[in-house]
Structure 1
Amino acid sequence: MTSTTRLTRRRLGLLGTAAGLATALPLRHAAAAEFNFKVGTNVPASHPLNTYLTRAAEKAKEATEGRFELQIFPNNQLGGDTDMFSQLRSGALECFLNSGVNTLSTLIPAAAISGVGFAFKDYDAVWSALDGKLGAHLREQIGRSGLVVMDRIWDNGFRLMTNSVRPIGQPDDLRGLKMRVPVSQMWLSLFRALGAAPTGLNFAEVYSALQTRVVDGQENPPAIISAAKLFEVQRYASVTNHMWDGWWFLMNRRAWSRVPAATQETVTRIVNAACLEQRAEIAQQNTSLRGDLAAGGMVFNDVDQAPFRERLSSAGFYREWRERFGEQPWGLLEETVGRLA
């Protein structure tokens, strides 16, 4: 072996060692987190719910020096609401953001009270109730069920009605319309009382059901209508603001109990802060997206809510749900919004 050959091999060996060190360092930082929590949501990745959850995940990982990681699965990637809720309770899924009016109410009936038709006139009323006594009561009920819930509820926004048949200006315009609603007794009861023909479908099925005219219409906040491109298959948008809806950040208690208290405190602080930022974004989008959706072909009309409240009252809607919820949660709701007929 010549000296040149020995020198070349020595250089190659040194280069190989350096390369090995270069690849080893990133691998050390990229090691799996000690606590990896999957988070399921039912809206597209572009929705503010998921963008702000992603920001919270990045901050939580950095603040815990990589020990805690939230992995976001948007747009029903882990299944529909019913599937994800079952996974959450079994421990197959660590976190799930769910409407109190939707699947959560199958376990905790009082959680649906935030969706009482035409109860909240504006955001001041919403946050006064759900960051106040009513929200504390609901979180207590959720905790008793064996789940963990964050302090702040994420905003899904005030909902409007869309359809491909006609504008909705008064309750009679809903008569006979096949309206998709989430799988929830509250939604079904509300639209039946208004004279529509509601059908409960998970969100993953909505676009195709509208496209194939299985249903005539649906109801959702502007951010979801935009993110899910429902304007492609709907013509009329009626600004009823008939219901406010939000997502509780739910966690499997067994999984969360394994996380050290100091890490829990850090993650909780970051997630709740992201929630407040997301609320501000949704409120802004409720206004700005109207122009975007109109440019996409939707025809908007504003609605006087008084005839709808009167129809619900005469149909016994408020009386029925007061009896279902009981005096304590109903009283806490009316303490904020005033008496519901």
Structure 2
Amino acid sequence: MNITRRKLIQGAAAAVAATAAPMTLVYGKSAEFTYKFANNVPLTHPLNVRAKAAADAIRNETNGRLDIQIFPSSQLGSDTDMLSQVRSGGVEFFTLSGLILSTLVPAAAINGVGFAFPDYDAVWRAMDGDLGAYVRGQIAKAKLVAMDKIWDNGFRQTTTSTKPINGPEDLRGLKIRVPVSPMWTSLFKAFDAAPTSINASEMYTALQTKVVDAQENPVSVISLFKLNEVQKFCSLTNHMWDGFWCLANRQAWERLPANIREIAAKHLNAAAIAQRADMATLNVSLQREIAAKGMVFNTPRTDPFREKLRKAGYYAEWKNKFGAEAWAVLERSTGRLA
């Protein structure tokens, strides 16, 4: 896929038009099951491109019995609203960041532990293996069904207006914007930085007015918010990774006949794998595009950051919060952290 920032953010009006009304099926009759698939990203985002392809394949293979309609761009409410809806059955499918899902399922945030994963190979080994299975088990206790394959939300990178980040010492005293979350705050405090919780809607202004000198986000968000206009350096720290769990309301899922569940799961999981490849391509093209506009990129070694977190007690803190069982599963994928 050849996706640029412009393609990623354009078409909000088209998204509403494309998803606001139920589709007329080519089979000449209404679907036996009409389910909503809600998310918070634009219609042109790789997640929705692949979700739409999966919905089409599911509709075709079930002979029109299951019609999944895509509702992008938070059309059905905020993440909190949509999480409530998928739990109650008002929405049948919902993709959500594990770090946000952790308000309901604490273990869902474990993939966001700082510097746990050095690269995507390590991420997919963990999330397609024991760690993903463990988190899905915890999600099931909340009466939700998580598909086997998690979608990619991206590694988070560090941008600054003052200097590149080459090692943990470069974070000391740095005024950095972080989301309103204890996981981010504790991570950057462990590096002796000065993290400030600021909502995303206020991030650009805070950087422009020097309330903070730095921020951290995936490359796609750096591009989407045009942060290269107020930040000079982007250090590819890969300090946290997050994904989108594809969640189903349990009652709605179990209401589907077993053969339709099998078809739906097959295509949704295949879509997740395809979306991962799309995101890898997108990250490369966006980085090239931002660099052409003057942002300077560098790739620091991650081992010194891990060692600093270990000495600061960060890993011990989060091991205690997640519990010994969850932490043991994490370390089977990452090696010793705490």
| Interval of TM-score (by shorter of Structure 1 and Structure 2) | 0.7 to 0.9
2:294 aligns to what SS in structure 1?
coil
Match of 1:116 among 88, 99, 113: 113
Amino acid paired to 2:84: S
Report the Cα distance in structure 1 between the residues aligned to 2:208 and 2:35, rounded to whole angstroms: 35
Q: What SS is found at the alignment partner of 1:71?
A: strand
Say whether residues 1:54 and 2:52 are aligned partners: yes
Q: 1:328 aligns with which of 322, 325, 329?
A: 325
Question: What are the equivalent positions in structure 2 for 1:155-304 lying under 5 Å apart?
Answer: 155-200=152-197, 206=203, 216-304=213-301
| CA distance 1:308–1:151, change in 2 (3 Å) | same
Structure 1: gaps spanning 5 or more residues? 1-25
1:33 shift after superposition: 3.3
Alpha-carbon distance between aligned partners in 2 of 1:159 and 1:122, rounded to the nearest angstrom: 12
- The equivalent residue for 1:68 is 66
Native 8 Å contact 2:37 2:91 kept in 1: yes
1:161 Cα offset (Å): 1.3
In the other structure, the counterpart of 1:153 is 150
Larger displacement relative to structure 2 (102-111 or 73-82): 73-82
Secondary structure in 1 aligned to 2:47? Answer: helix
TM normalised by structure 1 equals 0.82
Structure 2: distance between partners of 1:208 and 1:77: 26
Question: 288-297 or 221-230: which moved more?
Answer: 221-230
In structure 1, C-alpha distance between the alignment counterparts of 2:32 and 2:200, rounded to whole Å? 33
8 Å Cα contact 2:25/2:31 also seen in 1:
no
**Contact 1:47–1:223 (Cα < 8 Å) also in 2:** no
| 1:312 maps onto 2:323 in alignment | no
For residues 245-275 of structure 1, give each alpha carbon's deviation from its aligned partner in whole angstroms, at most 9, with x where no partner exists. 1111111112222222221111110000111
Larger radius of gyration: 1
Classify 1:305/1:189 alpha carbon distance in 2 versus 1 (closer, same or farther; 3 Å): same
Q: Which runs of 5+ in 2 are unaligned?
A: 1-23
1:85–1:103 Cα contact (<8 Å) kept: no
Identity %: 57
Q: Distance in 1 between matches of 2:258 and 2:212?
A: 48
Q: Is the 8 A contact 1:159 1:220 kept in 2?
A: yes
CA contact (8 A) 2:118 2:302 kept: no
Worse-superposed segment, 122-131 or 72-81: 72-81
Please provide the CA RMSD for this pair: 2.6
Q: CA deviation at 1:208?
A: 6.1
Q: 1:144 aligns with which of 141, 144, 156?
A: 141
3-state SS of 1:241 partner: strand
Tell whether the 8 Å contact from 1:80 to 1:203 is kept in structure 2 after alignment.
no
8 Å Cα contact 2:95/2:244 also seen in 1: yes
Map 1:12-161; keep pairs closer than 5 Å: 29=27, 32-100=30-98, 102-161=99-158
TM-score by length of 2: 0.83
Change (3 A) 1:169 1:28: closer
Change (3 A) 1:79 1:298: farther
1:226 Cα deviation from its structure 2 partner = 3.2
> What is the SS of the residue equivalent to 2:238?
coil
Verify the 8 A CA contact 1:117 1:243 in the aligned structure 2.
yes
The residue identity in structure 2 corresponding to 1:260 is P
SS at match of 1:151: coil
Cα separation, partners in 2 of 1:332 and 1:269, compared to 1, 3 Å: same
- Structure 2 counterpart of 1:56, one-letter code: A
| Partner Cα separation in structure 2 for residue 53 and residue 28 of structure 1 | 19
Indicate how the Cα distance of structure 1 residues 320 and 166 shifts in structure 2: closer, same or farther if over 3 A, else same: same
1:159 is paired with a residue whose SS is: strand
| Partner Cα separation in structure 2 for residue 328 and residue 294 of structure 1 | 43
